[in-house]
Structure 1
Amino acid sequence: MNGGFEEENICSEYQKNCAPEGWISTSLYADYYFDDAPNAYEGSHFVGIVLADSSRPSGRNFLRSRLLCGLRKGEKYKLDFSIRSLHNVFDSIGIYFSANDFLYQKEKLRNTQPQLFLRSAGLQPSKEWQKVSLVYTADGAENFIVLGDFKTKVHDLSGRRDLGKSYYFFIDSISLTPLNPREQLCAAADSVKEEEYNFSVRHSMLDRLMYVNTKNPPPVEPLPKTTLQRIDTLVIPDVLFATNSYALGEKAKTLLDAFVTRTKSYQVDSLVVEGHTDNQGSLSLNQTLSRNRAESVAAYLSPAFRSAVFTRGWASEKPVADNRLAEGRQKNRRVEIYVYVRE
């Protein structure tokens, strides 16, 4: 949520926009939220995580957020973000997924083992933003994501400090997306986001809350899993239409009626109806015929489905067989229905 950090949280302690919505930093003693468009990767906001400073050289700082939906065990997810730092610390920066809230865990934060490290990303100290793309395989228990400095020893940092007494690395434009194109956000994603946005405790109030909850961590309700979509298809051949017409014949209506009956038990997200022709005749006439046939089928199906029905006419642009043969041209003259089903 709020992957660009553009949406601002008004903290309850100072009534200022001092933090990004949906994200919490353990850098309670330093600035970590920046409104600085010239230095952002995109937009105007980004976050900075303190690596060390002269007063707390052994401190470790982390940035935590709750996921919008639970991940599916064994599925792969792509984590993308931009990072920049002038310091050679990328081997210690990691990403940690957890079932429980990282803010309240009893184990020392620096002793936690993240599932992903930036060591293999080939990053070098630079004042320029660098893109990072990592793949994570879920164990199915994830509720939270944390980015931070997981080095167990004190950093040996020298050179110019980034801000005041502190050395930083900066993060912008973060996203976590499934590699499976059938996997979509869960229905509860908006309510999870709203709940996190309403949590406005920051600064010393958060420090006290962390102290209390670390002794007795509150229970964490598992997030609803992402939604998997299955795509079913139905092909209506040209012979079920009148020649060069988009009127549905009785056999076509019987086929569609059976299709409606078969899909009554499905949780249908949407239907896409696409019309196709062979390459005989003019492109403009074929475009009109393919679109009209798709719209004719969609009009017949729409009363049976509450979900959205979309139509497209492709003319001869997407053949499935050789247009040089009569048999191939017959296969190309068709209407295809794609049904997107929630599992």
Structure 2
Amino acid sequence: MIVAADGKTAYYASDRSDSRGGLDLYTFELRDDIRPARTLWVKGRVYDRSTRKGLPSSVVLTDLNTRQIISNLQTDETGNYLITLPKGKDYAFNVKRKGYLFFSDNYSLSREQGDTAFNVDIPLQPIEANAAIVLKNIFFETNKYELKPQSEAELNNVVQLLKDNPTLRIQINGHTDNSGKTADNQLLSENRAKAVTTYLVSKGIAAARLAFKGFGDTVPVADNSTPEGRAQNRRTELKVISR
């Protein structure tokens, strides 16, 4: 029996006494008390950013609130993947491969409708000087620099990256949107970047391998005139100093 992504429609094949020529297909609606969560899904291809060659990689889905891994799967040999997202949770989505910076994204599905597919092709960056990624699952309260618990999964990915590459040196860069005073934004971005490095040191990473810098609102990547643009500008980046 197969249950559709809407969580209520079931299909099955059967060769009952009234079947003609083989299996017949049947469908029915599941009772409310046994329906699974509605699901969405993400599919795409992982590839090398420079060569565009497909990369077999690990795709990890983590529940941001519980920090529990929901799914850990491998792409096929050409980098293609398909992963389901049960509705009603918020997820960290990471793609990893040895020798590359991991890919970071998140999906907030607490209120998202089902029966939706995301197509996400993922270029991985080789670990080399000046390579950088945005850590999309680092979270702070507004105008504060204390790390929220939901940041733990992403932070631990950075810890593992540094442990797997023991000579790697990185810089954590903090950025804000242009709300508020420029001086306040500068200080906030520095404190947020410092909070990340402090966490990494607490997990056994040598401080000499880490640097941090705040840029305030001086390096926007989107238009600050919209809420979506401001959200993109409030970000934490990891930049490779040397490998």
Higher relative contact order (CA 8 A, sep 6+): 1
**Does the TM-score normalized on the shorter chain lie above 0.5?**
no
Normalised by the length of structure 1, the TM-score is 0.31
